[in-house]
Structure 1
Amino acid sequence: MVNIGWRTRRIGQTVFTLWVVLTLTFALVRLLPGNPMGAMVQQLIQQGVNPARARHLVELRLSVDPNKPIPYAYLDYMGNMLQGNLGISMYYSEPVVDIIARSLPWTLFVLSWSLFISFFMGVIIGALMAYWEGSKLDVGLTSWAILMGSTPYYVLALLLLIFFAYRWGIFPTSGRQPTGVAPGFSWAYISGILRHAALPVLSMLVASGVASLGMRGNSIRVLGENYLRVARLRGLSDITISTQYVARNAVLPMYTAFLISLGEMFGGSVVLEQVFSYRGLGWYMLSATYQRDYPLMMGMFTILTVAVVLALLIADLTYSFVDPRAGGQTNETY
């Protein structure tokens, strides 16, 4: 019952957070001085649209009626958000939901590969660093992890683009899928997608440095446990002990950080996709900023916020299943 009550409160906090985000978005549209609604109306008027027609178009595209009192307009706005109506893009003249549905899978494709590869590398390298603490291997890998962790992802992206795309021509310079190839489950199309995603994925691997250092710290604490002495007495190899015993137990505290980093990578995709002209969620969000496309900007912001909040919720709700010891500690605490 304690766990159920805690999970219920955590879900309630998440719902409250999402409500605050949507409310702030409404305030940005309707309440702030120099609000986007007025700017959009003036933009349409400058394009030769009748003022009454311009206000009507803005109402449709933002899902906010400027003629209604604020409480009624707020209820209409929240109802539209709950129904998935995020308005209509001013620049692309199509529903924001359609643009998100078209771009989100590409961003998730890059981020999922980046996240899992970075996490896997961090776990393995961190375990090896801790097991041979103080050795030349530890010093070398620690230096590499610090270098990777302190390098901005966009700097690595530019270096990869210059050398591997423009200078050596190994990977494409832009785009997300091969040109002249019909979409489908053919090797030409699949390999083309992988080649276009390779450099963005490699750019995100700077996260493996931070993961390695975190794993190293967790592993050093695990190394003093009695079951490791038993493993050594059984004659198991150092590689087996470091990867199967140390890594399996030290990785559990990193589970929450693993999901939190998903939200950080979503933010990083805004600049990264612009560097590689990779038309994902981040590319459209930055494009919306340049074009002053307020409905698209706010829709993207809402989706990114929901992704981060839900990632944190999943981390909290599932951690006790990943590490049963956490569940036991929760019961004792409450």
Structure 2
Amino acid sequence: MAFVVIYTTITLTFFLIRLMPGSPIDRMRAELYQRYGATMSEAEINRQVRLYLNVKPDEPLHVQYFDYVIKTFQGDLGYSYIQGVEVSVLLADVLPWTVFLLSVAITFQYVIGILLGAMMAYTEGSRFDLSASALSTFVVSVPFYVFAFILVFFFVFQWGIFPQGGKFAAGLNPGSLAWYRSVLYHATLPVVSLVATGFGGIALSMRANSIQTLGSDYIRGARLRGLSDHRISYRYVARNAILPLYTGLLIQIGFLFGGSVILEQIFSYRGVGYLMLDSALRRDYPVMMGAFLVITIAVVVGVFVADLTYGRLDPRIETGGEGR
């Protein structure tokens, strides 16, 4: 099924290139005619279109389609006709920054959410539980981009504490201590916007899972056996309460790639999402389609890995074949 989704995405990118307003193929032809006039032959124009858009305009549509699919699976996504660089090179340059940003944010989301949810469960009904539950419910209802705009308004424009954009300060040597500090400094606001609006849902899920686990018969049996509360909390409650969060973790990794389009644009953080939207505004369609393909693959892989591995991690989950 994952392969079918990826193949369908590649097919959509092929036809979107031809259906989008402005027709990038016609647009590039017009630009070449305007720039070179009669000095460039029709064959040379077709060669340029083939090179940059990864299509063959002088061949039948079905031939173009199969050629596009084969080249895409080979990693050939064409060339950016704005920058004149291979799309795969551009994506390889920005992808690590998006992965870094989302990895840090998701780590903090789950660490804070799991710890807070466990504390809420062990103090069920207390003032702390009610206050933390209300806070978690509130932050879940706030979209991350709304909180991102608030952070930018105050911490960038009003107080000038953080920079307006970029991934690190100019003039620093990559790999130096100052460079690493600058990278973390520039990533602070994007990470905070994701963490502040994402930990609440994890905390509420952890709370519900922990309360359900605490009421299980095997927990009562462990207490009757005289096991310490610390051992029960760690070995029995925590492990079984965290397992259901595993599926959400992998799925969230995939869908945050899609959210990076908005997040990176707000903070001018040049990652995959920023590159995708910027290329769309500049009508650099090969780059846009390549970024769209990467984001789609991230979502598909996250869901696929979660579905493939969850049953192995949790023996209580049985497949249809095993349960028969």
Q: Same fold by TM (over 0.5)?
A: yes
Counterpart pick for 1:82 among 69, 73, 76: 73
- Report what 1:28 is aligned to: 16
Of 277, 280, 295, 2:286 maps to 295
CA distance in 1, matches of 2:28, 2:143: 35
Q: 2:169 matched to which residue of 1?
A: 178
- 1:192/1:208 Cα in 2 relative to 1: closer, same or farther (>3 Å)? same
| Secondary structure in structure 1 of the residue aligned to 2:166 | coil
Q: Does 1:104 align with 2:95?
A: yes
Q: Is the 8 A contact 1:255 1:319 kept in 2?
A: yes
Superposed CA deviations along residues 79-129 of structure 1, whole A, max 9, x for unmatched, are 210111101112221111011000000000000011121122222222222
1:45 shift after superposition: 3.9
- Cα distance in 1 for partners of 2:99, 2:116 equals 25
Is the CA contact (8 Å cut-off) linking 2:54 and 2:68 kept in structure 1?
yes
1:154 has 2:145 as partner: yes
Q: Answer yes or no: is 1:14 the counterpart of 2:2.
A: yes
Question: CA deviation digits over 1:196-235, x for unaligned, max 9?
Answer: 1111111111111121222222222212113433555647
- Asked if 1:332 is matched to 2:302, the reply is no
Alpha-carbon separation, structure 2, partners of 1:33 and 1:267: 23
Structure-to-structure mapping, 1:1-334, within 5 angstroms: 13-30=1-18, 35-47=23-35, 52=42, 53-184=44-175, 186-205=176-195, 206-230=197-221, 232=223, 234=226, 236-237=228-229, 242=233, 245-326=236-317, 328=318, 331-334=321-324
Structure 2 segments unaligned to the other structure (5+ residues): none
Residue in 2 that maps onto 1:3: none
Question: TM-score normalized by structure 1?
Answer: 0.87
CA deviation vs aligned residue, 1:123-168 (integer Å, no higher than 9, x gap): 2222222232222111111111111111111121122223333434
User: Per-residue displacement from partner, 1:221-253 (whole Å, max 9, x unpaired)?
Assistant: 21211343355564745x775565423211111
Amino acid at match of 1:289: A
CA distance in 2, matches of 1:244, 1:165: 45
Provide Cα deviations, 1:270-311, integer angstroms capped at 9, x if missing partner. Answer: 111111111111111110111011111111111111111111
Unaligned runs of 5+ in 1: 1-12
When structure 1 is superposed on structure 2, of 116-125 and 276-285 the one drifting more is 116-125
Q: Residue by residue, what CA displacement relative to the aligned partner does 1:8-35 show, whole Å, maximum 9, x if unpaired?
A: xxxxx11121111111211223478964
Aligned AA (1:139): L
Q: Separation in 2 of the partners of 1:119 and 1:268?
A: 18
1:86 touches 1:95 (CA, 8 Å); kept in 2? yes
Return the letter of the residue paired with 1:179: A
- TM-score w.r.t. structure 2 length? 0.90
Contact 1:231 1:241 in 2 (8 A): yes
**Residue deviations 1:28-81, cap 9 Å, x none?**
234789643234333444555558344432221121101112222222111210
User: Whole-Å Cα distance in 1 between the matches of residues 277 and 16 of structure 2?
Assistant: 18
The amino acid across from 1:333 in the alignment is G
- Rate the CA distance shift 1:231–1:179 in 2: closer, same or farther, 3 A: farther
Q: Any runs of at least 4 consecutive aligned residues in structure 1 with deviations exceeding 6 A, and if so which? A: 31-34
Q: Contact conserved, 2:311 with 2:319, CA < 8 A, in 1?
A: no
CA distance in 2, matches of 1:73, 1:142: 55
Q: Work out the CA distance in 2 between the residues paired with 1:168 and 1:33.
A: 41
- Give the aligned CA root-mean-square deviation in angstroms: 2.3
The letter of the residue matching 2:177 is: W
Letter in 1 for 2:323: T
CA distance in 2, matches of 1:31, 1:204: 34
Q: Percent of pairs identical after alignment?
A: 43
Deviation larger for 87-96 or 219-228: 219-228
